[in-house]
């Protein structure tokens, strides 16, 4: 499953905090990591926990909601859903700096709509960030490491022996006690394990994306979210490979996330 959506609730009214917390208790894949009863506490909590989303009251002692945003800094402030007792006309002033807003008292349906809107925007932002990191990575001119330059795989077939350089491999597929090296339209089978391949291939050029798949970073065209935290990896030759959520952290590390 995807990592939980970490949320902070900041409101000087305990009833309002309780309301938001109780509504979130029935939602899957969310976690309230902190609550704050004034603006200063909100700033400290946001800096400490770096949440994915903040439900932020507009009027609080110490610092108002907008002052909290200013204090944290717009470049470091996570997405915000403002919560306020103002009427709709006054709230419109905040729409440009927030994902959404909730006017007290709000219905369960209105809360669910705000949360859904926040989820959608967060996914879009994460996908944009991922694609940007991927573009930067693929545009870099990398100097192969010595191990990558020297690694060659011996292919035995029909009484002959030939070699395939690691630099020619687009992706590697598990096949029982063997692995298949995919180089463009060419396939070569060698007796090796996936773990052994991981040790032999340069970690700055190859990454495991599934228990049965290793891919060359420079062969990737794009990565798109799939279901349940998985992704689809599209290679430059049009091949589609599944990226399992289990291997996402190491892929993100290679991409510089």
Tally of residues, the chain:
257
Write the CATH number for 176: 2.40.50.1020
Q: How far is CA 75 from the centre of its chain?
A: 18
Q: What is the pLDDT of residue 31?
A: 92
CA 88 to chain centre: 34
Whether residues 187 and 69 fall in one domain: no
User: Residue 208, exposed/middle/buried by CB under 10 A (0-12, 13-18, 19+)?
Assistant: buried
Return the pLDDT at 136.
Answer: 61
Looking at the structure, do residues 161 and 214 belong to the same domain, yes or no?
yes
Give the tokens for residue 194. Answer: 């996936």
pLDDT band at residue 42 under the 50/70/90 scheme: very high
Q: Are residue 229 and residue 189 in the same domain, yes or no? A: yes
Q: Of 85, 118, 137, which closes a domain?
A: 137
Q: Is the pLDDT of residue 36 over 90?
A: yes
Residue 147 has pLDDT above 60, yes or no: no
Closest Cα to residue 244, out of 30, 2, 4?
A: 2
Measure the CA–CA gap between 107 and 80, rounded to whole angstroms.
19
123 and 204: one domain?
A: no
Global confidence as pTM: 0.53
Question: pLDDT value at position 145?
Answer: 43
Co-location of 129 and 166 in the same domain = no
State the pLDDT at residue 162: 84
pLDDT tens digit string along 172-210?
A: 999 988 999 999 889 999 988 998 898 889 888 899 999
Residues 34 and 112 in one domain: yes
Given 101, 117, 137, the domain boundary residue is 137
- Of 80, 115, 137, the last residue of a domain is 137
Neighbours of 31 (CB within 10 A): 13
Give one DSSP letter per residue of 159-196, joined into a string.
TEEEEEEGGG-SEEEEETTEEEEEETTEEEEEE--HHH
Number of domains in the chain: 2
Question: Which of 63-67, 93-97, 186-190 bottoms out in mean pLDDT, i.e. has the lowest?
Answer: 93-97
The reply to whether 182 and 207 lie within a common domain is: yes
**Per-residue pLDDT for 235 more than 80?**
yes
Domain that holds residue 164: 146-255
Which candidate, 13, 11, 15, places its Cα nearest to that of 34? Answer: 11
Say what percent of the chain tops pLDDT 70: 84
- Do 37 and 155 reside in the same domain of the chain? no
State mean pLDDT over 86-106.
Answer: 70
Residue 134's pLDDT is 56
Question: What is the rounded distance in angstroms from the CA atom of residue 196 to the CA atom of residue 199?
Answer: 5
CATH of the domain at 46: 3.40.50.2300
């Amino acid at each position: 499953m995807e990592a939980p959506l970490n949320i902070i609730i900041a409101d000087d009214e305990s009833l309002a905090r309780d309301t938001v917390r109780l509504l979130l208790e029935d939602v899957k894949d969310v976690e309230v990591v902190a609550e704050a009863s004034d603006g200063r506490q909100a700033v400290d909590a946001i800096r400490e926990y770096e949440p994915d989303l903040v439900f932020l009251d507009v009027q609080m002692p110490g610092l108002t909601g907008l002052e909290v945003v200013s204090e944290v800094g717009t470049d470091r402030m996570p997405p915000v859903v403002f919560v306020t007792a103002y009427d709709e006309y006054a709230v419109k002033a905040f729409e440009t700096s927030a994902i959404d807003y909730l006017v007290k008292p709000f219905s369960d349906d209105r809360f669910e709509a705000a949360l859904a809107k926040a989820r959608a925007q967060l996914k879009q932002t994460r996908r944009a960030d991922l694609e940007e990191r991927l573009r930067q990575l693929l545009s870099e001119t990398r100097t192969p490491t010595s191990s990558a330059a020297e690694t060659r795989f011996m292919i035995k077939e029909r009484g002959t022996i030939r070699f395939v350089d690691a630099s020619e491999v687009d992706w590697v597929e598990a096949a029982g006690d063997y692995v298949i090296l995919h180089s463009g339209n060419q396939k070569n089978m060698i007796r090796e394990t996936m773990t052994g391949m991981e040790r032999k291939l340069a970690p700055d050029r190859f990454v495991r994306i599934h228990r049965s798949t290793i891919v060359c970073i420079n062969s990737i065209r794009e990565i798109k979210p799939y279901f349940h935290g998985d992704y689809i990896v599209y290679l430059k030759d049009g091949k589609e490979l599944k990226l399992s959520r289990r291997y996402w952290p190491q892929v993100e590390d290679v991409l510089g996330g």
